[in-house]
A and B are shown apart, each in its own frame.
Chain A
Amino acid sequence: MQTNEVWVYIEQNNGKIAEVSLELLGKATVLAEKLQGNVSAVLPGSNVKSLTKTLFTYGADKVYLVDQHILKDYTTLPYAKVVVDLIKTYQPQIVLYGATTTGRDLAPRIASELRVGLTADCTNLQIGDYTFKEKDYQDILYQIRPAFGGNIIATIVSPEHRPQMATVREGVMKMNPPDASREGEVIEYQAEIPTELLITEIVKKFQQEKTVNLKGANIIVSGGVGVGSKENFKLIHALAHVLGGEVGGSRAAVDAGFIGKEHQVGQTGTTVRPKLYMAIGISGQIQHMAGMNQASRIVAINSDPHAPIFQIAHYGIVGDLHEVVPKFIEVFKSLKK
C-alpha cells in the first residue's frame, strides 16, 4: 500500500551528516504537511545509530536505519540495493536526495531499477494537482528546476509512478529550526547484500572541510571573466578582505582558471543569499544571476554599460575595475576610520 511518507535519503560520511540532507528534512516537513503524511529519513551506513537523534531534531518523524558494517563506505551497488529494498517494502510517496556526487550517483540508479521518474537539481518543490489526457491527479509533487543553462524554469511531474523522486542542491532549501525535544520512531532494517554487489573498492578517499563558506557569507565579492587573469583576481580578494567577505566567481572565471571551483556562484555552483553581493567584471549569464539575485543588495561593476547584470543590480558602477576597485577600497578605508 502506498503511504503518504516523504522520505529523505540521509547522506553521511564517517558519521557526519551532509547539510543538504538536513535541509531536505526541512522541505520534507512542508511537503508532508500538505500530504498529511510524515517525514521519514533513510539512513544507511555503519555505526550510524547515534545520528538518529539529529534527524528527529531537524524534522524526521521516523528513521529507517540500516546499520551494517558492509555499508561503511558509500559504493553504488550495495547502497542502491538497500534503498530499492526499503522503497519496495515501505512504499513512500516521495523520496528526496541531495544533488551531491553521491546523490547523483545513487538516485538515477534507483529510479532506473524501479522505473520511476527522477528530476535532477530541483530548486523548488511543491504539492499541487495535475491534469493529463483528461485524467486528474491530486497532490502531485511539482519538481521545479532550471534548464537550458538557467534560461528556463521547468515544472516536472511524475503523476503515474511512485515514489516521485528528486535531487536538490545544497543551500537551496532551508533547514527547520532545530528542536531537540522532538522524538520519533526508529525502524531497524537488515538488508541482504549479496557479495556480487561488493565489487567496488575504495582505495583512497581525500576530503577537506569546506574552506570557502559562500552559503553562510553576509558579504560576497565575486569576479567574472572580465577580471582578465588570475593575477588580477587579487583585486577581488583584496576587496573581499577589507569588507570581511568571501570571494566568489562566475562559472566563466572558474573555467578560465582565475579562481577555484569551490568559489563558484550560480545555479551550477552555489546558490547564495548574502546581504551584499558585489559582481565585478561579471556580465550576467542567467545561470549566475539566478544563483545570486536573492542578495539584499547587489552592486555591479562593469565597463560595459549594457551588461545584463545591471538589470538586476541595485547599484551600478560603469568603469574599469582596475581603477574602480582600488578607489573603492581607499574610500571605504577612509570612511571606516
Chain B
Amino acid sequence: MNRGRDRFIIAALRSERLAIPLGHVSEVMENFRTFPIPRAPVFFPGVINSHGSPTPVLDLASFLYGDPPAPDGTLLILDHRTATLALRIDRVERIISADGPAEDDNTDNGLTDQSVFYNESSIRTLNLELLVEMLEQELSRRPASSTRSGAPA
C-alpha cells in the first residue's frame, strides 16, 4: 500500500536501520538521566523527566533483539497522542522524505511490516501503534520477580 511521501527518521540500531515516522516523534534527546521503574521488564531501563512529564524509556534493541540495554544513546520522544514513551536508539542517521511505505512483507509479527527506500536500499518501518499494543500486553502480565530495571547491576 502506498500512502504518498512521508517523512521518516532513519534510526541506527546496532547493525540495523529502522524508519520511524517523523510525525509521531516530538523530540530527539541525547543527554538524559533515567530513574528506575519498579517491576518493569529489562527493556525498560528507566523513566526520564521530559519537561515535567515522566516518560518511560524503551530500549529498542533490547526489546527487538534481546540485547542488554545500552547506558547511553539517543532518545526519540514520541508524541503524547501516540504514547507516553521514549525510544532509545543508537543514533539518528538522518531524516528523509520517502515514497512509501511499500508493500507489506509481514516480518517481525508486523512490528516492522512495511518498507521505505533510502540510499537505494529498503528500510523497514516501525509500526508504532503495534509496538505500543505489544508493550501494553507485555506490561499487563504479572511480572516475574527478576531482571527488573529497578534492580542494581
Q: Do A and B come from one complex?
A: no
